[in-house]
Amino acid sequence: MPDISMEILSRFFQQHLPFCPTPRQVDGFKADLSLVSPMLMEAALMEVRAGTRGYRVIHRPDEWRAAIFSVYNRKVAEHSQLFPIFHSFEIAFRSTVAVALEAHYQHKRWWRAIYNELQRGGRAKNISTIGPVPIGHRAAWRIGQIMREIDGVDLSGTSIAGLNNGYEFMDCCDLNHAKQLIEEHWSIFAPRFAPLTLNDFSAKFDRVREARNKVYHHKSVARRTAVIAAAEELLDHLQFSLRFVYGKINGCRPQAPTFSRAIEPRHRTR
């Protein structure tokens, strides 16, 4: 049975390469696939074939590998440009949710009553107040679901039990959990995002979140400009200037990494 790299190569050769590769070229591409993201490489291959983004159309078979990696490396560089944006977006929303829900429920551990109820074998919906503040059944259920996703259906994990404040709670959450908490408490957050509706907010948030997940899983991202615009707009509602912060990050001169291994022929850099 052919291995996974040969399955991917077969698709590459049949759908994207306009020539029949030699056995040596097949071996070369197969070796490459053991070290790179096949999704990102396929996107690069398609760009090279189409001659888009200013790249000339390649005709000679021996030029394809260098051309593909030129585009592949550019895509990696573009991903690196998005990291400060996703970092800013994620941290700002985690912290916003932590602070807003603590202020609303007037309790540092606003999830704790629901956690205790679930530990007793009850239902999250049994909790109707957090401290002095009412909580809707849907919001209580959502907080319970998030905790089950973090610590398991039976809450046998150890992440939630020792948490002391909303920052720590949100640190255990993923970005989708932050969005869900905002959606279930929209009456609290709506004034910040006016005139956006809940549907508008969710769609823009998901655009950023899905692009973030693709980049973190080394996949190509389409409509990068729209992703950045959505992140900038939502952060602007939090009084956060993405243009300013990105400029400050981009203007820093971090210490460059050092490498001790020499580049050798076995690394197949040509």
- Res 184: pLDDT: 98
The predicted pLDDT at position 264 comes to 92
For 104-167, the three-class secondary structure string (H helix, E strand, C coil) is: HHCCCCCCHHHHHHHHCCCCHHHCCEECCEECCHHHHHHHHHHHHHHHCCCCCCCCCCCCCCHH
Looking at residue 220, its pLDDT comes to: 85
Q: Residue 161 corresponds to which tokens in the numbers above?
A: 């039990």
By three-state DSSP, how is residue 219 classified?
coil
Domain ranges within the chain, ordered by starting residue: 4-75, 110-162
Tens of pLDDT along the chain (270 residues)?
A: 456 666 776 777 667 776 677 778 777 777 888 788 888 888 888 888 776 544 455 556 677 788 888 888 999 999 999 999 999 999 999 999 999 999 999 999 999 999 999 999 999 999 999 989 999 999 999 999 999 999 999 999 999 999 999 999 999 999 999 999 999 999 999 999 999 999 999 999 999 999 999 999 988 888 999 999 999 999 999 999 999 999 999 999 989 999 999 999 888 887
**CA dist., res. 53 & res. 79, Å (int):** 16
Q: What is the distance, to the nearest Å, from the Cα of residue 241 to the centroid of all Cα atoms in its chain?
A: 20
Query: And the tokens for 70?
Result: 């030129």
Alpha-carbon distance of 179 to 140, in angstroms, equals 15
Instruction: Say whether 213 sits in a helix, a strand or coil.
Output: helix
Task: Supply the pLDDT for residue 1.
Answer: 41
Q: Is 59 exposed, middle or buried (0-12, 13-18, 19+ CB in 10 A)?
A: exposed
CA dihedral (196, 197, 200, 205) in degrees, to 10, reads 80
Report the pLDDT value the prediction gives residue 2, as an integer from 0 to 100. 55
